[in-house]
Every structure is written in structure tokens, then in C-alpha cells.
Chain A
Amino acid sequence: MGQAGEGGLGRERIGVFVCHCGRNIAATVDVKKVVEKIMEHPAVVHAEDYDYMCSRPGQELIERAIEEKRLTGVVVAACSPSLHETTFRETVERAGLNPYKCEIANIREQCSWVHEEVDKATEKAIRVIRGVVEKVIRNEELKPVEVGLHKKALVIGGGIAGIRAALDIANAGYQVILVEKKPTIGGHMAQLAETFPTLDCAQCILTPLMSEVANHPNIKLLTLSEVIDVEGYVGNFHVKIRKNPRYVDPEKCNLCDNCTKVCPVTVPSEFDEGLSLRKAIYIPFPQAVPSSYLIDPEACLGMNPVICGKCAEPDVCTPGAINFHDQPEIIEEDVGVIIVATGYELYKPENLSEYGADKYPDIITSLQFERLLSPNGPTGGIPRRPSDEKIPKRIAFIHCAGSRDEKHVPYCSHICCTYCTKHGLLFKELVPDAEVYSFYIDLRTVGKNYEDFLRRAQEEAGIQFIRGKVSKIYEEDGVVKILAVDTLLNRRIEVEVDMAVLALPMVPADGIEELASKMRIQIDNNGFLQELHPKLHPVESATPGIFLAGAAQSPKDIQDTVAQASAAASKALEILSQDKISHTPIVATVNRDLCSGCRLCLSACPYGAIEMVDGRAEVNEIICEGCGACVSTCPSRAISLRNFTYEQLDAMIEAVAGGI
């Protein structure tokens, strides 16, 4: 070996600190042997092991060694760098070392936790550490690049998550652009009747927040709008938003409702989940924000003025708010942070044809049932079944109608057990002599005070909970028949009811994949947005400056959604409250003497960070994200990625492959 003596690297004095992580590492990796072996490396002047390197005494041990042994670089062999890289870089900085002279060798997640034989795991740990030692030896001392930022936030999605996050940021004194795809904010929560476990009316707690958004001087609300492009990086995102035409000027519309009286077109109402009809000119619901009617261009006949245009007659729309020539608009904004709160949709009933919601009128979805229970719903809060408008006397709630089912969605939708319980309780209150059945796989009413809520339903309200998976539901002569297996009694049962309500899975909102790819954030196995780390960074995405809130990240109830929205807002404010933000110094650099000016790197760079200056490539350090695509493209080896150079990679390959 002895390469440490070459190329001016001989002065490097590296310290290696091997963590036991209790028994997490030490049970599978012989840490004493690792220390002994790594000391053989010519550049390693100090090596030691300790129970918990990330603890205060562990960090002090590193600081002391840096001072006493005059270390020039540190390798901490411990857990994954995604956990404590920042921790240990701060540690070495306190002892006067440049933070970029500290690297992590992962001997837990990728070694001790996945292997069983001690000698082999130990050998692997030594190889991994040797590789990282070679990297640290060649790491440059770097300083983060400081840049200014736009003190403005973009919140995507105007449901309860987006509303809460936007209000938190706006109340802290920063500008917010709130973008909502639909004509009104409020999301699914606006459709709900009452909310568990307190049975507060959803509208009563939501609509004040909606009007606060409408009136907030720091919030710019864009409805019927979609984010179509995101460029840039934390602090300096440039976004393009398409605002679709409303055809009604919200400034002029006075909500007189004359227009709907003359409109000849009726279509199913989205807000009532198809249980009522609306006109082609409509307001989604009376408390909608912005408080204005709009025209559905797909349904309206007036887009061709020869055919219709009744609503725009001066004696109908007296303020003259209707404009058939309204055009889509592209709005460009510069923001510092983005919160993605695009929410959920229900799994499509037609995907679950064995349960019949797409074929039979009295087999409905849970959101439709919310509308039936809602005082502003199609039946005025009296639950009538769609086929004959009779009040059902027997009703069944089907939990897990597609959730926890490999054929549909494998995950638990988290809120269904509790809302089915709520539906049962509310229905019993309205129809006290009704028979109520709840079919479940497991009852998962997890949350503060939810257990009491469940007990009330089981013991006081007399709802019959049947543990069993439903195999088929169909309607015959006005009777809904449910075939199931009671798994506690281990027998097949058939239950006849007047109406069945399906708790369909929560799935991510349509178009989330496209949006995620524009923002370079990841999607998990189930299609939800992936957080950076489930425990340490639950609201951060993998892209710095982009945060996640609500059901877009995973199915969750209103309580958790609001908590997460406020958490995402506070993380966003952490960035907005700074005057400068630092950008990674791990960027590409060009050796002008070697650059031939071939321009291949220009097309390799996904960020447009490279430009030609006097016939040679030059990297804009603020735009460069440090991916290295240009480095591997350059035929002259003129571009190098800082702290990830050819020499480093070569030395690492050599070190991990060498004999033990």
C-alpha cells in the first residue's frame, strides 16, 4: 500500500472512530479487530472504538483526538451517513477541522444489520472503512457557497393540509402562493359531515380557515391552477403555473344565483359525489373560496354563442361577470420553498367490481355517505338511499374495501375503521331503530381518544361488528346482499341490508407522479410521496427546500394532517427566515488547461449550469447540483467533481478490493 506517501498526501493524519452502536454493530462486527487492522494504514494515526459515538461523550472523544493527535481528517465508522453525517461534521468543526474532512463509513445498515458471520462482516467493515479513509485523505477543505433567497413559499394543494401550511407561513410574515387544481379550496374535508372523535361539524372548523386564506394579505390564491414546471434549487425555485379560465370574474360575481336558473345544462355534482346535479355554471358549494361562480367549459353550451349564452344576458348577470373569452394564463413565480400537499382520492369503485358500487345504486362510497349525512348535502342530512329515497333501516359498512388486499392496495388506509365507526354512530343517532353492521379485518382505531369512540359504538350504540372479509356484494329487488365469512365463528354468512357503504382505499391524487418528477422528489411503492427519512426527516423530501404535508405522503386523518402541515410550514420557515442559504460546495470544476471546448458537458448537464467562456467550459457553482454527469462525459477529463475526483474513486476501488 503506502499510497498515502504519494502526491503530497503524506502529511495527512487520519483518525478512525468505530462505533459499537450498543450491540447493533458490535454483535456482528469485531470492533477491536477493526481498530487494530485500520491502524496498519500508513495515514491512520489514531483509531478507537466506543459504545455510542454519536452521544456527547463519543463526540468529545473525537474532538479530543483531533486536538491531541493533530488529525487532518476523520472517519466515523457507524450508521448510515443519512443519519449522522451532519452531526459528526459539526463535531469536527468544533475541534477546528473543516467539516468536509469528515466522512462516514456505514458499517451498520450495510454491514452489521445484514450479515451474520462475524469474521466476514468484520472483513467487510474493514474494507468499507479503508475505502472511506482513502476518500478523506484526498478530500479538499471546502466552504459552502452562500446565496440569497426568495422569501416566498409555494404551497401546492388547497385542502386542509395546504390551508394550514399556507396560513402558518403567511402568519409568520412571508408571502405564500397557494395553488389549487379545483375551483375552490377546502379539499375533501369540506365534503365531510362530522369529524371523529369529537363529532365537530367539518364545515364549522374548516370554513373559517378558508375565509382566512381568502382575506390574508400575504396569501395569493390561485384556483383552477396547476404547477407545470419547477426549476432551480432551495431558496431559488422558479415555477410556472397554468391558471385555467373560470369564465366568471370573481371580483364582479355577487352570488345572486340568477345564472343557474337560466342554464339549461345539468351534470352530476362533484362536490356531492354524483348524488345531486349541478348546472354548467355553478358554485361548488355555498362557502366556496374564492366566493364566485364558474363555468364548466366541458358542459357549457355557451362556448359557442350561437347555441346558448343565456347566463351572460345583461338582465341575468347584472354585474356582467361572465366572460366566455376568458383564456388560460401562465403565471411565473420565484419562491424559496415549496410545500406539496396534493392530498388523496378514493380508489375507483369500478376497480372493485365484486363489491358492486359501480353497478348498484344502493352500494355507495364512504364519501357519498358523508354527503348523505351532511346538512348541506343532497338529502339535507337525512340519509336516504339513492335508488328510492327511502331511509334505510338496515345498513352495512365495509371496512378495508380494497385496502390491505394484494389485489387492490396492499396498505392500510389508516382512517377507515374510525370513520366507519363514526358513520355507524351518526346513522344510529338519526335512525335509532336501525340495524347497523360493520365488517372489518382488524379494528384499527388508532389515535388519541379513538378507543373510547369505538367502545361507544360497540357498547352503547349497539353496532354489530363482524370480523370477516366480504367476498361479494350485489343488489337484488331492492335488497343489498352481502356474502362474507365470519372469521371468529369460522362460518359463511349472508347479510341482507338496504344500503352498503364501502370504505374504499385512499390513493394519491391523480397526476402526483408527474408533479413529483418535475420536482425530483420520490414516490414510494404505493405511489405516495416519499419522505427523506421516516423518523429524522418526516416532512422533508429528498430535494432540499421541498416539504410534504398531508395524505399525499401517506393516508392520514385530519389531526395528523394538520400536525404535519404545521411541521412542514415550520421547516419551510427555517429556510425563509434566513438571509442567505448555503449551497453545497460539492460541485463540478473545470481545469481550463485541459478543456478542449467540445461542449459535450453542456448537453450532459441537466441544470444548464455550464456555459462557454472564451471557448472553455465554466460551471456556475450556484446552479450546479453536484451530480457529476458532466464529469463522466468529459473526454479530456477536464471536469472534476469536488471531493469526488477520479483519483478518489480509483483509490477507493483499490482500497475496498485490497487484501485484508
Chain B
Amino acid sequence: MSEEFEPRIIAFLCRWCGYAGADMAGTSRLKYPPTIVPIRVPCTGRIEMEQVLKALKRSDGVLIAGCHTPGDCHYVRGNFQCFKRIALLKKLLRQMGINPSRIRLEWISATEGRKFARVVREFTEELKELGPLRRVE
């Protein structure tokens, strides 16, 4: 792939932790690549596999960021629900011949702006290595 390749990441951020952590990165003026477009969701437990796949179909990688396990989920255990689903989805991706690391699940608290910025930087680099996801229309 040419060096110009800029991956596109769709991010599902839970409003209490992941989204608030991304806000914190902004408040702290930490820089990260503009590869990511966030979608604010109530909880990572709201996200089903099908919509993660839909997002992956339209991007090169999907980031899901929620509250730390075990006890931080604002809705008690939505983060666990998401964790189980993503583990299963990654297995499915492998069978489909898609590198499962194109889906990344992270626990990022409202105070972890630094972590959010680092994750986006890392994920962008990783996806650059992997190259664009060939889309079948």
C-alpha cells in the first residue's frame, strides 16, 4: 500500500466513560490522528454484533470504548455483555478471513484522556500496517 493510506475508524463510545474520556483528551488538548469518527452510544451493552459489522463494512476498523470492568459500568454490566459479544465476533471475523484486530474493545474511564489518545494513535498505526479493508459491495 502507498504511504498515503489513512485508515478510517468508526468508534462507538459509551457516553459515561469512553465518550467522556475522549472529551477529556480534548480538554487536555492531546493530539491524535483525525482518522476516527465517534458515535455516542448510551452503553457498550447497547451495541450488537450486526451493527459492529455494518460499521466495519464502511471503515477499516471499529473501536468500542466503555467503562472499565468489572464494576465501572454505569448500567451495572453492559460492558460485560459487550465484552462477550466482541469476543465471539472476533472468532467469527477470523472465519470470514478478516483480521480480528480490526475490531478493538477498550475500557477507558472519564478521566483517561491520555489513554484515549494513545489508543487512537496505536489503532491508526495498526490499521495502517494492515492496509485498507477491501469492501465487497
**Chain A positions near chain B (C-beta within 8 angstroms):** 80-82, 106, 108-111, 113-117, 120-121, 123-124, 127-128, 131, 513, 516-517, 520, 522-525, 530, 542-543, 586, 604, 606-607, 625-629, 631-633, 641, 644, 646, 649-650, 652-654, 656-657
Contacts and interface: CB of A to CB of B under 8 A. Distances in A.
A80 B38 contact: no
B105 interface: no
A641 B46 contact: yes
B112 A632 contact: no
Contacts of B75: 520, 606, 625, 627, 629
B39 A80 contact: no
A172 B58 CA distance: 57
A649 B109 contact: no
Contacts of A530: 109-111
Contacts of A586: 42
B42 A644 contact: yes
A120 B34 contact: yes
Interface string B1-44: 00000001010000011001011011101111110011111110
A627 B111 contact: no
B76 interface: yes
A517 B26 contact: no
B95 interface: no
B127 to A, nearest CB: 14
A629 B43 contact: yes
Nearest to A520: B74
Given A632-B47, A657-B58, A110 B22 contact: yes
Contact of A117 (B22, B34, B42): B34
A586 B42 CA distance: 10
B134 interface: no
B23 A80 contact: yes
Contacts of A606: 75-78
Interface of B: 8, 10, 16-17, 20, 22-23, 25-27, 29-34, 37-43, 45-48, 51, 54-55, 58-59, 67, 71-78, 81, 85, 109-112, 117
B34 A626 contact: no
Nearest to B59: A657
Given A116-B31, A644-B46, A653 B39 contact: yes
B37 A131 contact: yes
A416 B42 CA distance: 41
Nearest to A120: B34
B26 A114 contact: yes
Given A523-B72, A525-B111, 4 more contacts: A80-B23, A106-B38, A111-B34, A625-B75
A632 B46 contact: yes
Contacts of B42: 586, 626-628, 641, 644
Given A114-B117, A513-B71, A656 B39 contact: yes
B81 A632 contact: yes
The 9 A-B residue pairs with the shortest CB-CB distance in the complex, in nearest-first order: A628-B46, A109-B26, A657-B58, A627-B75, A517-B71, A606-B76, A113-B26, A632-B48, A629-B45
Contacts of B46: 627-629, 631-632, 641, 644
A81 B40 contact: yes
Contacts of A131: 37, 39
Contacts of A520: 73-76
B73 to A, nearest CB: 8
Contact of A82 (B10, B23, B55, B74): B23
B116 to A, nearest CB: 9
14 contacts: A109-B23, A109-B27, A110-B23, A114-B117, A522-B17, A522-B109, A525-B109, A606-B75, A606-B77, A627-B45, A628-B46, A653-B54, A653-B55, A656-B39
B77 to A, nearest CB: 6
Q: Which of B16, B26, B31, B111 has the most CB of A within 10 A?
A: B26
Q: Which of B20, B34, B71, B76 has the most CB of A within 10 A?
A: B34
Contacts of B76: 520, 606-607
Q: Which of B23, B51, B72, B110 has the most CB of A within 10 A?
A: B23
B81 A654 contact: no
A632 B43 CA distance: 11
Given A114-B32, A525-B112, A530-B111, A128 B37 contact: yes
A627 B71 CA distance: 16
A629 B85 CA distance: 12
B41 A644 contact: yes
A625 B42 CA distance: 10
Nearest to B24: A109
A525 B51 CA distance: 32
Contact of A127 (B16, B27, B37): B37
A596 B81 CA distance: 21
Contacts of A604: 45, 81
Contacts of A522: 16-17, 67, 72, 74, 109-110
Nearest to A643: B42
B31 A114 contact: yes
B109 A627 contact: no
A542 B16 contact: yes
B28 to A, nearest CB: 9
Contacts of B32: 114-115
Contacts of B74: 520, 522, 542-543, 627
Contacts of A656: 10, 37, 39
A604 B75 CA distance: 11
Nearest to A513: B71
B39 A629 contact: no
Contacts of B27: 109, 113
Given A522-B109, A606-B75, A656-B10, A115 B43 contact: no
B101 to A, nearest CB: 20
Contacts of A121: 34
B78 A627 contact: yes
Contacts of A542: 16, 74, 110
Contacts of B26: 80, 108-111, 113-114
Contacts of B31: 114-116
A131 B10 CA distance: 11
A646 B41 CA distance: 12
Contacts of A627: 42-43, 45-46, 74-75, 78
Contacts of B29: 113-114
Contacts of B110: 522, 530, 542
B72 A517 contact: yes
A629 B23 CA distance: 24
B45 A653 contact: no
Nearest to A627: B75
Contacts of B16: 522, 542
A106 B76 CA distance: 26
Nearest to B71: A517
